[in-house]
Structures are given as C-alpha cells and as structure tokens.
C-alpha cells in the first residue's frame, strides 16, 4: 500500500521562525551591553508571549478561534 | 511528510517526553524561585551593608581581609576571595580542608575599608535554607555528580522531545492558522492547541535554556578535563614539588596587583587559593573577567606563584570552558535586570504548561484507547 503523503505548507513555520529569530536575537543581545540593548533584549525575549496574550484576550472577549482552512 | 514518518516522529516525541516530563516539571518548578534568588535573598537576609564613610576612604590590603577571615574562623584555611561590584567589600571563603563538601565552608563578607566583617554565611535563615534545598534539587537532586549527569540526560531527552515536537508541529497545524486555540472543541483538542502554541512560540527560549542546562550539568567533568590538560600544562614545572603549606602562602594583595598589571582592562572575578579545585597547589589563581559587558563572562586565569608572587602563566580558556561559562547567564536569565527575570519566569510557567498539557494529552489518549478497547470487548462478547 502506498504511504499517504501529507504536505505541510511552508507558511506553517512563518510566524514561528520570525518569533524564534527575534527571541534568540533578544536573548543574545542582552549579554552584549546595557541601555538600549537591554530594551531590545526584553522586547525580543518577550515577543514569544504576544501570541499567547492575543489568544487569551480573544478568549476573554468571547470570539471563536476556530478557523479551519481545510 | 509520509504518514509513516510522522508516526515514527510521534513515537520519538511521546517516549522522550514521557521519560523526562516529571524531572523537567521539577526543574521548571524549582527554577522559578531560583530566577529571583538575588531578590529573595536580599529580602529575606538583607544584603551585606557597609557603614557610610567618606568616598575617598583608603582601602586596606587584601591580606588584611584574609587575616580577618582567619581570625573569625580559627582552624580553617582560606579558599577563595571574591569581589562585590557595588560595595567596597570582599567575600572570603574558608574551610577546614582545601576541597570541602557542600556546606562545609564559611563565607565571610568583609569591609575593604576597615577589614571588619559585615556578614557571614553562618547567619543564613530559614528562607536561605529553603533556597539551598531548592537549588540542590534543581542542580543535582542531592546526588552530586551522578545527580547532575542524570538531570543532564533528562535535559538531552527533553531536547530530542523539543525537536520531534517541531517536526510534528507542521502536520498538526497544516489546516489551522498560527496561534489557533479551538475553544469550542473538546478539552483534549484545546489542550493540544495550547501545547502546540506554547511549544512553538517558546521554542527559542526552551532550546536555549534546555541546552545550556545540559551543558551546566557537565561542568564538573569539563572542569576536571581542563585541570587535567590545560592547567597541568601550565603548572608542569611544579609537578614534582610538595604542596605549599598554608603558613607559607604569600601575599594575595601582591598576586592581585600582578594579575591586574598583566591583564589591563580586566577585573578580578575571584582568587582561588592554592590547593583548591580552581588553582594548583603552588599558585594563587586570579580569575580575571573582561571589563566590558560583552567580555564580562569570559574568564582568564592568571597563575601567580604563591611564594615569589610572580606571574607563572596566563591563558584564555578553551572553547568548552567558554561554552560552559556562557551557558550560565543564558540558563539563569540574570544579565538584563528584573524585566528579563520576569520574562524568564513567564516563559518558565509556559514551559510548565507545555509539560503538563503533554502529560494530559497522553493520559487522555490512554483513557480513550482503554474505553474503546472495553467497548469492542463488550461487542465481541
């Protein structure tokens, strides 16, 4: 029997890659100095929490999250 | 991706996660208070305070600090001297032997202007003891090196679970928008969506903290390797000489001046006295750190002959020791103030939810499978 091939869109990783790159950049940049670099560090490290906050705020405002593409 | 490949990755994800989850949960939970250990220690015990004096008050010799520590701890020997960045004081560590066990040493904070003590590790209160227990659980499960290596292996499994989780993320999310949580579906689906969302957005942080945690568990073997190779090379001319007795230790003040002169632009991080793990039997090892934020984590030991006070050798650390050194701030998140610590704590809580949701998903599937099996047995009967 021929194995079923599941094709995933490259866009699945679009946002995660952006968040990951900014996250690593933020974590690293904080070690290089203070002042503006600290702010960049906090922004980069904290960016991962934005989508979580968005989901939580949507949930509290009662909007449905289900948007299946299939 | 072929469905067979997905199944294989799923097996890898399931079993690597299941094996390490309990330990990772323990690490994440104990890690939470440890992120704020500076603040907790300061609140509970209070930072050593130096009395107000004129800013141009001259500093006493570092040898006076050792003399004070020895007077306060008779029968002990000096092991380390470390330096405060924000107050004119040093910590002198003393113990009965050169390489004492955990808790078998005393740390005395001494004012550099008066050579008078301003605090001691003997004064640790209940909170300090609780933090010590949490730290030991987090670092080695009270099992020293075997405990560290075991936790390192758990961390390694966690990294594999993370990689396999990323591989599985694509097929699971192919029909969904990024950051979708289907609140109108079953609890199992909601947990899966939260697991996927938190897992993918915290991937960078989890990977860095996990990898640096694994590297930290290897600190003892790495340090022993450095001692056996690099340090052995540096002190080869001394290898046939008898260890220098404590009474014959020379001036640590002079050793510090020599090290500072040999490495301009750097600051001493700590001094390891002869006989300790961080030095040889014949040297003060003055560990110098870079003077800028970018180089502050890079340590270079300057070996000063304890009898002559002359610089014997100075060599930058090899790559594996640099990796070890850099893995500490990246694991602790203590290098960019309180906001970074708060973010570290929030991401740690996210990691706890990832682990917990993974466990719930597995238990839920098991329950479903068991009830399906019961139904088919009843039908067949």
Distance from CA of A65 to the nearest CA of B (A): 5
Residue from A11, A14, A17, A49 to probe the interface with B (highest B Cβ count within 10 Å): A49
Predicted pLDDT of residue B122: 66
Mean pLDDT of B125-132: 88
Nearest chain B residue to A18 by CA distance is B201
Contact assessment for residue B305 and residue B312, using Cβ atoms and an 8 Å cutoff: yes
Instruction: State whether B330 and A42 contact (CB < 8 Å).
Output: no
The full length of chain B comes to 381
Residue B259: pLDDT over 50: yes
The full length of chain A comes to 70
Instruction: State whether A65 and B294 contact (CB < 8 Å).
Output: no
Distance from CA of A52 to the nearest CA of B (A): 7
Predicted pLDDT of residue B300: 92
Residue from B5, B296, B336 to probe the interface with A (highest A Cβ count within 10 Å): B336
Residue B130: pLDDT over 80: yes
Predicted pLDDT of residue B296: 83
Question: Strand pairing of B266-272 and B117-120?
Answer: unpaired
Mean pLDDT of B334-349: 96
Contact assessment for residue B91 and residue B107, using Cβ atoms and an 8 Å cutoff: yes
Residues in chain A within 8 Å Cβ distance of B4: 3
Mean pLDDT of B74-99: 93
**A60 CB near a chain B CB, below 8 Å?**
no
Predicted pLDDT of residue B379: 66
Mean pLDDT of A12-36: 94
Q: How far apart are CA B44 and CA B36, in angstroms?
A: 12
Mean pLDDT of B40-56: 80
Q: Which two tokens stand for residue B349?
A: 């809580």
| pLDDT tens track for A39-51 | 999 999 999 999 9
Instruction: State whether A55 and B181 contact (CB < 8 Å).
Output: yes
Contact assessment for residue B305 and residue B283, using Cβ atoms and an 8 Å cutoff: yes
Residue B249 DSSP one-character state: -
Residue A68: pLDDT over 50: no
Residue B291 DSSP one-character state: S
Average per-residue pLDDT in chain B? 92
Q: Where are the domains of chain A?
A: 21-56
Residues in chain B within 8 Å Cβ distance of A59: 181, 183
Contact assessment for residue B295 and residue A33, using Cβ atoms and an 8 Å cutoff: no
Q: How far apart are CA B351 and CA B270, in angstroms?
A: 35
Residues in chain B within 8 Å Cβ distance of A68: 175-176
Predicted pLDDT of residue B6: 93
DSSP line for B131-176: HHHHHHHHHHTT-HHHHHHHHHHHHHHHHHHHHHHHHHHHHHHTTS
Predicted pLDDT of residue A62: 65
Residues in chain A within 8 Å Cβ distance of B330: 27, 31
Contact assessment for residue B205 and residue A16, using Cβ atoms and an 8 Å cutoff: no
Residue B148: pLDDT over 90: yes
**Lowest mean pLDDT, pick from B14-18, B142-146, B171-175, B336-340:** B171-175
Q: Which two tokens stand for residue B69?
A: 């520590």
**A25 CB near a chain B CB, below 8 Å?**
no
Q: Where are the domains of chain B?
A: 3-39+133-216+335-380
Distance from CA of A14 to the nearest CA of B (A): 9
Nearest chain A residue to B345 by CA distance is A46
Mean pLDDT of B298-325: 92
* pLDDT higher at B140 or B370: B140
Q: How far apart are CA B274 and CA B248, in angstroms?
A: 11
DSSP line for B178-216: TT---TTS-HHHHHHHHHHHHHHHTHHHHHHHHHHHHHH
Mean pLDDT of B256-260: 95
Residue B218: pLDDT over 90: yes
Residue B90 DSSP one-character state: E
Residues of chain B above pLDDT 90, percent = 75
Distance from CA of B86 to the nearest CA of A (A): 16
Contact assessment for residue B357 and residue A60, using Cβ atoms and an 8 Å cutoff: no
Residues in chain B within 8 Å Cβ distance of A69: 175-177
Distance from CA of B174 to the nearest CA of A (A): 5
| pLDDT tens track for B275-295 | 998 999 999 999 999 887 778
Distance from CA of A46 to the nearest CA of B (A): 6
Residue B320 contacts by C-beta under 8 Å, 6 or more apart in sequence? B222, B225, B226
Predicted pLDDT of residue A1: 44
Residues of chain B above pLDDT 70, percent = 98
Per mean pLDDT, which of B35-39, B205-209, B240-244 is the most reliable? B205-209
Instruction: State whether B339 and A68 contact (CB < 8 Å).
Output: no
* pLDDT higher at B5 or B55: B5
Closest CA to B269 of B277, B259, B261: B259
Nearest chain B residue to A23 by CA distance is B204
Predicted pLDDT of residue A2: 47
What pLDDT band is residue B168 in, cutting at 50, 70 and 90? very high
Instruction: State whether B178 and A15 contact (CB < 8 Å).
Output: yes
Long-range contacts of B14-22 (CB under 8 A, 24+ apart): B14/B362, B16/B157, B16/B158, B16/B160, B16/B161, B16/B164, B17/B157, B17/B158, B17/B161, B17/B165, B17/B355, B17/B358, B17/B362, B18/B362, B19/B154, B19/B157, B20/B154, B20/B155, B20/B157, B20/B158, B20/B161, B21/B355, B21/B358, B21/B359
Q: Which two tokens stand for residue A25?
A: 């950049």
Residue from the list B174, B179, B326 with its beta carbon closest to the beta carbon of A9: B174
**A43 CB near a chain B CB, below 8 Å?**
no
ipTM over 0.90: no
Residue A70: pLDDT over 60: no
């Amino acid at each position: 029997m021929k194995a079923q091939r599941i094709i995933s869109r490259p866009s699945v990783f679009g946002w995660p890659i952006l968040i990951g790159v900014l996250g690593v950049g933020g974590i690293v940049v904080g070690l290089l100095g203070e002042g503006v670099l600290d702010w960049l560090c906090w922004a980069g490290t904290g960016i991962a929490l934005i989508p979580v906050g968005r989901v939580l705020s949507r949930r509290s405002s009662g909007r449905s999250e289900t948007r299946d593409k299939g | 991706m072929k469905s067979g490949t997905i199944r294989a990755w799923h097996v890898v994800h399931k079993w690597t996660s299941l094996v390490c989850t309990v330990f990772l949960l323990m690490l994440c939970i104990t890690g939470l208070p440890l992120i704020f250990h500076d603040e907790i220690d300061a609140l509970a015990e209070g930072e050593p305070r130096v009395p107000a004096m004129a800013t141009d008050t001259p500093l006493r010799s570092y040898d006076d600090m050792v003399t004070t520590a020895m007077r306060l701890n008779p029968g002990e020997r000096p092991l380390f001297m470390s330096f405060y960045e924000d107050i004119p004081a040093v910590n002198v560590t003393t113990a009965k032997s050169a390489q004492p066990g955990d808790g078998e040493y005393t740390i005395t904070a001494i004012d550099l202007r008066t050579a008078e003590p301003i605090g001691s590790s003997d004064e640790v209160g209940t909170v300090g003891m609780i933090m010590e227990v949490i730290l030991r659980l987090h670092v080695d499960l009270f099992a020293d090196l075997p405990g560290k290596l075991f936790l390192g292996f758990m961390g390694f499994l966690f990294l594999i679970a993370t990689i396999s989780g990323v591989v599985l993320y694509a097929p699971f999310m192919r029909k969904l928008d990024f950051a979708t949580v289907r609140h109108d579906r079953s609890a199992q689906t909601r947990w899966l969506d939260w697991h996927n969302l938190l897992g993918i957005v915290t991937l960078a942080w989890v990977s860095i903290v996990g990898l640096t945690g694994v590297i930290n568990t290897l600190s003892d073997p790495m340090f022993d390797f450095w001692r056996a190779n690099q340090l052995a090379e540096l002190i080869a001319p001394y290898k046939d000489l008898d260890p220098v007795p404590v009474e014959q230790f020379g001036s640590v003040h002079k050793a510090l001046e020599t090290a500072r002169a040999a490495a301009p632009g750097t600051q001493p991080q700590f001094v390891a006295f002869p006989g300790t793990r961080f030095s040889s039997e014949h040297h003060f090892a003055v560990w110098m750190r870079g003077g800028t934020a970018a180089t502050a984590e890079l340590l270079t030991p300057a070996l000063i002959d304890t009898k002559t006070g002359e610089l014997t050798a100075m060599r930058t650390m090899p790559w594996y020791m640099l990796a070890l050194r850099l893995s500490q701030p990246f694991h602790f998140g203590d290098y960019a103030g309180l906001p970074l610590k708060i973010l570290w704590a929030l991401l740690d809580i996210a990691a706890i939810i990832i682990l917990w949701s993974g466990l719930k998903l597995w238990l839920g599937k098991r329950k479903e499978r068991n009830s399906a099996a019961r139904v088919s047995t009843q039908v067949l009967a």
